[in-house]
Amino acid sequence: MAYTEMISYNKKFVKSIGDKRILILGFGREGHGTFLFLRKIFPHKTFGIADQNPKLVRLNLGRLETVRLHLGKRYLGAIKNYDVIIKSPGIAPKLIAPFVSKKQRVTSQTEIFFELCSGTIIGVTGTKGKSTTTSMIYEILRDAGFRAHLVGNIGKPALSSLASAGPNDIFVYELSSHQLYGLKKSPHVAVFLNIYPEHLDYYRNFAEYGRAKANICLWQNKDDYLIFNAKDRLVCKFAQKSKAHKISVTGKYYGLDKAAAREAGRISGVSNDSIEKTLKNFQYLPHRLELVGVFQGITFYNDSLATIPQATIAALDLLGSRVETLIAGGFDRGIDFRPLAEGIWRSRVKTVILFPESGKRIIKEVTASEKGGGIKYFAARNMREAISLAFLHTKTGKICLLSPASPSFGLFRDYRDRGNAYKRAVKSFSKKPRRM
């Protein structure tokens, strides 16, 4: 579908913003994609771009006389000069609330995509597992010959694929809580995996975070489908409010992801044989319980994406008693680590290596009971120090697991940087003589 056809398809949307002053708030990957999309529809329109980065790289902005830049610490002050604010997901709603009036419209790339998309949307959300599940569904559809698109957090910005797509295309959309926030439309097929406390620095409270996640199913109708985790109490509560056909699934870690992907494939008309063939050949994503390898007799796993206690607990349960060393800790969002301590007590972990700042609270919970009395713990200032300790305190035949139960900010740029640093350090230290 060409841009001119898309405009014809949804004249209401174009008319609603065509004569409005539009501000793209946040100019990262998604904001940049939104700009390029709107520029093709409105080639002569002047857009505002606001971002806290004062050195924003001016990529593909076209004629600068049709762009107004608002950069630096006071970027939010530009909001008052615009009618429509297209907010990037990384900017918390509570940050912009003091600057927005009732006359203004705050929207997002996700909302615009849902308004304009003529194809089928399969949306996937969950505190953990959504990237893997989204990838599985996409590959199941692609292998079966469907015109499928991988969009959202893990794929391309959603709007970048819209112009060349038609009513028979399927968009597999990984939806974060930030993208779902304020949405008044749900996907035709919704996959709702789990809800755990996370991003509590972004939302006012956990209840607001949960309500944002729930938008994936709250606006569905009787012709839609909801695939949901029957073992998650809060997910089940929200599922009851959906009018869609409901399909419950269960499973632990990748088992849950596979179960949800199977059902999404079946709803789309893919045969069981084709689904199982795709899942058998599926290559798991980096930093999600990724096997790094066996070095000096120790098996190393990289689970850097485990940024909450529940993800680390699931990894410990899945790998079992061979896990002897756990590397955890990172940015402290104030999450309760008592469940993690209980998970460590249940496991056979003998050594816990901890990063600041949450590492202090993790070890406090682990040692709060006599159950943690036999566990050795060490503080590490960086990844090389952590790996040095791991080689020193992990026996041959055992597992060293990086599963931080905390975000990466502080020591690392993001979970990818942390996971890559882990893999580099493991391979570097594996070449040195081992001391026990």
One-character DSSP codes across 197-260: S--TTTSSSHHHHHHHHHHHHHT--TTSEEEEETT-HHHHHHHTT--SEEEEE--STHHHHHHH
Task: Please tell me whether residues 143 and 234 are part of one structural domain.
Answer: yes
Does residue 434 lie within any of the structural domains? no
* Residue 91, domain CATH: 3.40.50.720
Q: Identify residue 122 by its one-letter amino acid code.
A: I
Whole-angstrom distance, CA of residue 168 vs CA of residue 257: 25
User: Using N-to-C axis directions, what is the helix angle for 415-429 and 383-393, rounded to 10°?
Assistant: 50
User: Residues 6 or more apart from 113 whose CB is under 8 A from it?
Assistant: 151, 158, 159, 162, 171, 173
Q: Is residue 231 part of a domain?
A: yes
Which residues are annotated binding-site positions?
A: 126-132
Q: Could you give the CA distance from residue 210 to residue 427 in angstroms, rounded to a whole number?
A: 40
Residue 159 is part of a domain; what is its CATH number? Answer: 3.40.1190.10
Gap between the Cα atoms of 164 and 162, Å rounded: 6
Residue 320 sits in a domain whose CATH number is 3.90.190.20
**Number of structural domains, the chain?**
3
Would strands 120-125 and 189-192 be described as parallel, antiparallel, or unpaired?
parallel
| Domain's final residue, options 214, 247, 281 | 281
Q: Are residues 352 and 264 in the same domain?
A: no
Which residues on neighbouring strands pair with residue 245, listed in sequence order? 225
Quick check: is 359 in a domain?
yes
pLDDT at 1: 47
* Among 60, 61, 189, 56, CA closest to 119: 189
Q: Please, which residues bridge with residue 248 across strands? A: 228
Same domain flag for 103 and 142: no
**Can you give the residue range of the structural domain that contains 43?**
3-10+17-107
**Would you state the pLDDT for residue 330?**
95
| Residue 50 is assigned to a structural domain of this protein | yes
Which residues sit in the known binding site for ATP? 126-132
- In the numeric block, the tokens 């035709």 are attached to 188
Q: What is the pTM of this model?
A: 0.87
Write out the E strands in 26-63: 47-51
Q: Are residue 79 and residue 145 in the same domain, yes or no?
A: no
Statement to judge: residues 102 and 115 lie in one domain: no
Whole-angstrom Cα distance, residue 45 to residue 33? 16
Residue 436 counted as domain residue: no
pLDDT at site 57: 60
Question: How far apart (Å, rounded) are the C-alpha atoms in residues 401 and 326?
Answer: 5
Alpha-carbon gap, residue 157 to 229, rounded angstroms: 27
* Same domain (yes/no): 185, 312: no
pLDDT computed for residue 154 by the predictor: 84
**Same domain for 274 and 296?**
no
Evaluate the CA torsion angle 98, 214, 328, 415 in order and state its sign: negative
Cα distances from 85 to residues 26, 63, 97, 105, in angstroms, run 10, 21, 12, 6
DSSP 93-156: HHHHGGG--TTSEEE-HHHHHHHH--SEEEEEE-SSSHHHHHHHHHHHHHHTT--EEEEESSSB
Q: Is residue 435 part of a domain?
A: no
Q: 202-235: string of b/e by CB count within 10 Å (b at 16+)?
A: bbeebebbbbbbbbbbbbbeeebbbbbbeebebb
Would you say residue 272 lies in a domain? yes
Nearest Cα residue to 415 out of 430, 401, 425, 403: 403
Going by C-alpha positions, the residue among 337, 336, 345, 338 that lies closest to residue 370 is: 345
Residue 379 is assigned to a structural domain of this protein: yes
Give me the sign of the Cα torsion angle 326, 332, 333, 337: positive
Q: Which of 126, 128, 125, 124 is nearest to 311 (CA)?
A: 128
Mean pLDDT by 10 residues, the chain (436 residues): 52 79 93 89 91 74 79 95 94 92 94 92 95 96 97 86 86 95 96 86 84 96 97 96 97 93 98 97 91 96 94 93 96 91 93 95 91 91 96 96 93 94 95 63
- Choose one of 281, 300, 324: the last residue of a domain: 281
Same domain, 115 and 154: yes
Find, among 38, 56, 60, the residue nearest to 47 by Cα.
38
Question: 87 with 130, same domain?
Answer: no
Q: Which of 236, 258, 281 is the last residue in one of the domains?
A: 281
The residues, ordered by sequence, that sit 6+ positions from 102 with a Cβ below 8 Å of its Cβ are none
- Pair 103, 119 in one domain: no
Q: Tokens 């904001």 sit at which residue?
A: 31
Same domain, 102 and 118: no
- Summarised one tens digit per residue, pLDDT across range 181-233 is 999 999 999 999 999 887 767 778 889 899 999 999 999 999 999 999 999 99
Whether 99 and 165 map to the same domain: the answer is no
